[in-house]
């Protein structure tokens, strides 16, 4: 086995995936080769997520499998990073003694030094409270494809009562626009066609910098001018940070997609207050209506939590009613999962597990109906599709791509269209995707 091989298992959100790309970039600079199977690697890295208990359990279950590899080959080193590492620190060594290296979310750029130390020292835990200082020396190693993630802001200042992010990722830190634009140009030169700007509260971009001109709206306008890039989108927005200017920028720029992921979390103003989400049901509805008025074909998606502590049946039904009222294009749903360090985890009025499950099932059923309705509203419309892939079916080439609202769309065409924008008239829709015909003018 080649000595410098690594494998990364990435759990959780796009931010973690972007971090894994940074880790790959660092390791490749150090002469490591990435492999696609953990059995072939001498350095195994688990990039963890602690947003829900399920994700945490998954990380330790993978570590259990890796323990067997290490038993067979003691030269294997196992590292754990991401939110669980940031939160749990050295305690991980007790739960998973096979782990050699623990590094936090702020320590990614310290990895070269940590790996060097690991040659002489059996166990290392390095978890910083603020970012390690050599951020600019390494470029991320992106997997080939059409879309590239580009983190523009890290951390979060909101401290929602259920969320670990401000504890694991720290306070909000926006990158400077010139660094982002430079990286976006690099992405374009590598052949990517789409840029997805990332941040836990991406629309708060610039709020931590004392210059009013640094904001998401202005950044989008500058990115819109980069040659080679066909599409730009951004996730995840905080409803309290969407400005009128941002809405009009999305409407008026050429490449920025009419797509908003706007987590609402609950349809009840009372529950939102307890969650420390700074908007009411009415304010959220007004925001959605403003966006839909500006862009009638906009795609709006959301997140909802079932069974937040103290949520009454009546308050839960307000979530049900808002999903029906807005007819979101998609919603991510989850049963409330108490997370260490967060205020809500120790509240006495926890909703019983069975009840959380019942409420979640109701939401999931509703979301399926919602997605179907959302897809059906596009039948008869002509949408721009970025072609991503193809397959052969009964001797015909079926292309697959995404609309500006990230709807998966299939249509017949030529595989040479991969990477281009095609106008597609939507003829049919299922819960999974849209089906259409190319319109060539």
CB of 163 to ligand SF4, least distance (A): 3
> Residue 384 to residues 7, 62, 409: CA-CA distances in angstroms?
37, 40, 10
Pick from 163, 184, 272, 385: which binds ligand SF4 (CB under 6 A)? 163
Angle of helix 177-189 versus helix 216-223 axis, rounded to 10: 30
Pick from 140, 166, 239, 436: which binds ligand SF4 (CB under 6 A)? 166
CB of 269 to ligand SF4, least distance (A): 17
Q: Does 158 sit near ligand SF4 (CB under 6 A)?
A: yes
Sheet holding 259-261, edge to edge: 259-261, 299-306, 330-335
Task: Residue 47: name the closest of 78, 81, 23 by CA.
Answer: 81
CB of 177 to ligand SF4, least distance (A): 22
- Sole window of 151-159, 359-367, 406-414, 426-434 interacting with ligand SF4 (rule: CB under 6 A): 151-159
Helix (H) or strand (E) holding 261: strand 259-261
Q: Of residues 197-216, which lie at the interface with ligand SF4 (CB under 6 A)?
A: 200-201
Beta carbon nearer to ligand SF4, 13 or 184? 13
Beta carbon nearer to ligand SF4, 166 or 405? 166
Q: Does 13 sit near ligand SF4 (CB under 6 A)?
A: no
Helix (H) or strand (E) holding 293: helix 281-294
Q: Does 160 sit near ligand SF4 (CB under 6 A)?
A: yes
Are the C-beta atoms of 381 and 297 separated by less than 8 Å? yes
Distance (Å, whole) CA 129 – CA 390: 46
Beta carbon nearer to ligand SF4, 156 or 198? 156
Distance (Å, whole) CA 278 – CA 160: 9
- Sole window of 77-85, 103-111, 162-170, 370-378 interacting with ligand SF4 (rule: CB under 6 A): 162-170
- Quick one: CA dihedral 224, 226, 231, 235, positive or negative? negative
Distance (Å, whole) CA 67 – CA 331: 37
Pick from 2, 97, 133, 159: which binds ligand SF4 (CB under 6 A)? 159
Site string for ligand SF4, 181-200 (x = CB under 6 A): -------------------x
- Quick one: CA dihedral 414, 423, 389, 19, positive or negative? positive
Q: Of residues 49-108, which lie at the interface with ligand SF4 (CB under 6 A)?
A: none
Beta carbon nearer to ligand SF4, 11 or 422? 11
Q: Which residues bind ligand SF4 (CB under 6 A)?
A: 156, 158-160, 163, 165-166, 200-201, 238
């Amino acid at each position: 086995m080649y000595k410098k091989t690594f494998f990364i298992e990435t759990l959780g959100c796009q931010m973690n995936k972007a971090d894994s790309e940074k880790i790959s970039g660092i390791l490749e600079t150090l002469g490591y080769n990435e492999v696609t199977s953990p059995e072939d690697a001498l350095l195994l890295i688990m990039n963890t997520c602690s947003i829900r208990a399920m994700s945490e359990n998954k990380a330790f279950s993978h570590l259990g499998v890796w323990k067997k590899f290490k038993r067979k080959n003691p030269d294997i080193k196992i590292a754990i990073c991401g939110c669980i590492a940031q939160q749990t620190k050295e305690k991980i060594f007790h739960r998973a003694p096979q782990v050699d290296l623990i590094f936090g979310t702020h320590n990614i750029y310290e990895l070269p030094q940590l790996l060097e130390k690991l040659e002489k020292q059996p166990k290392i835990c390095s978890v910083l409270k603020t970012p390690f200082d050599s951020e600019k020396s390494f470029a991320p190693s992106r997997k080939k494809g059409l879309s590239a993630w580009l983190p523009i802001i890290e951390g979060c200042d909101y401290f929602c009562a259920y969320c670990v992010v401000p504890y694991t990722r720290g306070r909000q830190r926006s990158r400077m626009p010139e660094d982002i634009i430079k990286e976006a140009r690099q992405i374009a030169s590598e052949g990517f066609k789409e840029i997805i700007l990332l941040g836990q509260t991406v629309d708060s971009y610039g709020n931590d910098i004392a210059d009013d001109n640094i904001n998401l709206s202005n950044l989008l306008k500058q990115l819109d001018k980069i040659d080679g890039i066909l599409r730009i989108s951004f996730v995840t927005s905080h409803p309290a940070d969407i400005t009128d200017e941002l809405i009009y920028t999305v409407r008026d720029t050429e490449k920025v997609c009419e797509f908003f992921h706007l987590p609402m979390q609950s349809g009840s103003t009372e529950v939102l207050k307890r969650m420390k989400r700074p908007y009411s049901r009415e304010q959220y509805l007004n925001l959605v209506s403003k966006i839909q008025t500006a862009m009638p074909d906009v795609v709006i998606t959301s997140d909802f939590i079932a069974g937040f502590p103290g949520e009454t049946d009546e308050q839960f039904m307000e979530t049900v009613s808002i999903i029906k009222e807005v007819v979101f294009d998609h919603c991510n749903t989850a049963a409330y999962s108490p997370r260490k360090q967060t205020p809500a985890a120790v509240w006495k009025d926890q909703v019983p597990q069975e009840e959380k499950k019942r409420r979640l099932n109701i939401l999931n059923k509703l979301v399926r109906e919602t997605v179907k309705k959302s897809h059906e509203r596009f039948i008869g419309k002509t949408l721009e599709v970025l072609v991503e892939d193809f397959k052969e079916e009964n001797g015909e080439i079926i292309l697959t791509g995404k609309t500006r609202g990230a709807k998966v769309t299939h249509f017949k065409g030529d595989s040479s269209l991969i990477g281009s924008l095609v106008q597609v008239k939507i003829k049919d829709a299922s819960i999974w995707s849209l089906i259409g015909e190319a319109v060539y003018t």
